[in-house]
Structure 1
Amino acid sequence: MRNEDMLLIPGPTPVVDSIYDALASETRSHTDPRFVEVYKRAIDQTKEMFQTDGEVFVIAGSGTLVMEMALVNTVAAGERILVISHGYFGD
């Protein structure tokens, strides 16, 4: 059996020009009032999209990062948990 690299990312994905334009704009600090306004709008729109008034988190990272954050912040050190396979990365 030949050993082949397995690339587990989405893509290649076509990207509209407006996204390229946004990526080419200046970066903004998390303390910049313009960033704060965009972030607040993202939170509000996410709540609206999921029809919730609960807490919403926008994470700049992979699903694996989000899963680790959830576990690290809800499971005490040394506590035992059961993890049932939930896909390739879970295995």
Structure 2
Amino acid sequence: MSKHFEDARYYLGRAAEHAKAGVKEELEPVEARVKELVGVGEEEEPESSRLDRLQTDLKRIEERAEGEAREAVASARARVKEYRGHDAAEE
């Protein structure tokens, strides 16, 4: 590609970046006004999404399953200990 085309492509890209930044800067007051009229503030927390609710539910279920597993292991250990105690008493 000719050096002239490479230069032109570079400067067109820069011009597009500057145009984008200028439009954004010009529209910031309009955006703020619309948000004010609509009542959308940055301090408001967005409503939790379905994914967030599912993750919370899964975490709760995981914790419950972990607790139940610990109880089952403790119960099994107690039964094994009791069984071994009876074996020792019978010998």
Give me the TM-score of the superposition, normalised by structure 2: 0.23
* Larger RCO of the pair (alpha carbons < 8 Å, separation 6+): 1
Larger-gyration structure (1/2)? 2
Which structure is higher in helix share?
A: 2
